Amino acid sequence: MAMNVQSPGDEPGVMATINTTPLVDVMLVLLIIFLITIPVITHTVPVKLPHATNIPTQTKPQDIVIAVDAVGNIYWDNKQVTDDNQLLTMIEQQAIKVPQPDVQIRGDRTAAYKSIGHVLYELQRGGMVKVAFITEPNRAALGVH
């Protein structure tokens, strides 16, 4: 480490250069440490991995969206369903598809639970397996106005 020492008779002057030798020394030591430790960290067990083959995936059918409004009217993909028999027939037609499409229920927050429960009952009778509810995030809790 270098140091500038002045004798008592010299004029005091300002040293305008920065001594970077210690900084370079420290950086070189850190670089050497990283180069030595990285192979130890990334050591893995030697295994023979299987070869990948391209298998065509089966296309997924379009999801079914069933909406229930505040009054209790049922809508199948934006078309109103008039009676329970029509709803059950539509469900049974979709339930036999392989793979079976997902059903998403959009229920109005003011709708009676009875209306939503009736749709769930018809889905169960028709043989649908995958049912999801579409909700909206609580914007007040998220801080969004």
pLDDT attached to residue 43: 62
pLDDT attached to residue 52: 65
C-beta of residue 105 within 8 angstroms of C-beta of residue 134: yes
126, pLDDT greater than 80: yes
DSSP symbols for 2-48: ------TTSPP----S---HHHHHHHHHHHHHHHHHHHHHT------
Mean pLDDT of 4-13: 61
**What pTM, to 2 d.p., does this model score?**
0.57
Hey, what amino acid is at 23? L
Instruction: Tell me the domain boundaries of the chain.
Output: 64-140
The kind and range of the H/E element at 84 are helix 84-95
The kind and range of the H/E element at 85 are helix 84-95
> From 3.40.50.300, 3.40.640.10, 2.60.200.20, 3.30.420.270, which CATH number describes the 64-140 domain?
3.30.420.270
Distance CA 92, CA 89 (A): 5
31, pLDDT greater than 60: yes
Distance CA 12, CA 23 (A): 26
Q: How confident is residue 136, by pLDDT bands cut at 50, 70 and 90?
A: confident
pLDDT attached to residue 42: 65
pLDDT in tens, 39-90: 766 666 777 766 766 666 565 678 999 999 999 999 999 999 999 999 999 9
Name the token pair of 76: 């199948």
pLDDT attached to residue 135: 85
